[in-house]
Amino acid sequence: MNNHLLALKDLSGEQLRSLIDRAIVLKAETARKIRHQQLAGRRVSLLFNKPSTRTRVSFEAAMYGLGGQVIFMSSKESQLSRGEPLKDTARVLARYVDAIVVRTYGQQVLEELARYSTVPVINALTDLYHPCQILSDIMTVIENKGAPAKLKIVWLGDGNNMANSWVEAASVLGFPLTLACPAGYEPDPAILEASRRRGSAPITLLHDPEEAVADADVINVDVWTSMGQEEEQKKRLQAFQ
C-alpha cells in the first residue's frame, strides 16, 4: 500500500500534524545551515501539466536540500502529449523514481496515476485540491499564531481548489473554519458536506465578507480567476467586487 497524498482527507490528523511538525524542525535546522541527506540516493519525478513558479521551485529546492535528485517533465516532454495511457506512464515512471509529484487539471488524472503507480503520488495541484499549499499555510499559521484550534481562521474569496483543501484540513485536524464566498462560487458542495460530517469543529459558509472577518486571527485569500478560467475573468471581477 502506497502513501499517496492526493487529498488531505486521505490522511489522519496525526499524520498531518506529524508532517507539519517535521517540516518546522527541518526549516529551523536549514536556517542553522545544518546539512540534510535523508533523501540521498532517492529520485522524484515532477510531472507538470500546468505552469508553476513557486510550486516547482519549492519541490525542487526541498528535494535537493535533502540530498535527493529531481527529474522534471512538462506535459509536452512526456509521451502523455502523444496520447500514452496514464496507467502506462505511471508504471514506467515508478520504475525509475521513488515518488511522482503531479501538477495537473483533473483530479481524476492524479487518481488514475496513483492507481497504477507502485511509488507514492503527490498532488502538487489539481482543479479540485491543493493539499501541499494548505499544509504550508497551516505551518505558517502555527509558526506565527499558534494552534489553529484556538484561532478564527477565515477563507475569503473563491471557493476553489485551495478552499476545498482548507475545508478538508479543518475537518481532519479539527479546527473551526469560516469561509466567505460570493453566491455561485462556494467550495465543492460534496467536499463541504463530507468534511462537516467528518470533523468535530464547525465549518461555516457565509456570503458577507465583513461578517466573516470580524474578530479573525487569520485571513486567507487567493486569486479570483484561476488558471484555465481566463475567459471568466470579467464575470468573476463583477461577482467579487
Mean pLDDT per 10-residue section of the chain, whose length is 241 residues:
87 96 96 95 95 93 97 85 85 97 96 97 97 98 97 96 98 97 94 96 96 97 68 66 65
In DSSP terms, 101 is beta-bridged to 46, 122
Q: Is the Cα dihedral 108, 113, 115, 121 positive or negative?
A: negative
Give the integer Cα–Cα distance in Å for 41 and 38: 9
The domains found in the chain, sorted by start residue, are 35-123 (3.40.50.1370), 147-240 (3.40.50.1370)
Burial 122-160 (b: 16+ CB within 10 A, else e): bbbbbbbbbbbbbbebbbebbeeeeebeebbbbbbbbbb
pTM: predicted TM-score of the whole model, two decimal places: 0.91
- Give residue 1's pLDDT: 45
Burial 67-91 (b: 16+ CB within 10 A, else e): ebbbeebbeeebebeeeeebeebbe
Helix boundaries (H) for the chain: 13-31, 54-65, 86-96, 107-116, 131-145, 161-173, 189-198, 209-213, 233-240
Place of cell 527541518: 26
Report which of 66, 51, 195 is spatially closest to residue 134, judged by C-alpha positions.
195
- Give residue 12's pLDDT: 95
Q: Which amino acid is it at 147?
A: A
Q: How far is CA 115 from CA 45, 51, 240, in A?
A: 17, 24, 38
Q: What are the cell numbers at 156?
A: 475569503
Measured from the Cβ of residue 228, the count of other Cβ atoms closer than 10 Å reads: 10
- Give residue 75's pLDDT: 78
Q: In this predicted model, what pLDDT tens digit does every residue of 53-101 receive, in sequence order?
A: 999 999 999 999 999 999 999 878 877 767 789 999 999 999 999 999 9
Give the integer Cα–Cα distance in Å for 166 and 186: 13
To which H or E segment does residue 221 belong?
A: strand 218-221
- Give residue 87's pLDDT: 93
- Give residue 240's pLDDT: 65
Give the integer Cα–Cα distance in Å for 26 and 30: 6
SS3 142: helix
Q: In this predicted model, what pLDDT tens digit does every residue of 203-225 receive, in sequence order?
A: 999 999 999 999 999 999 987 66
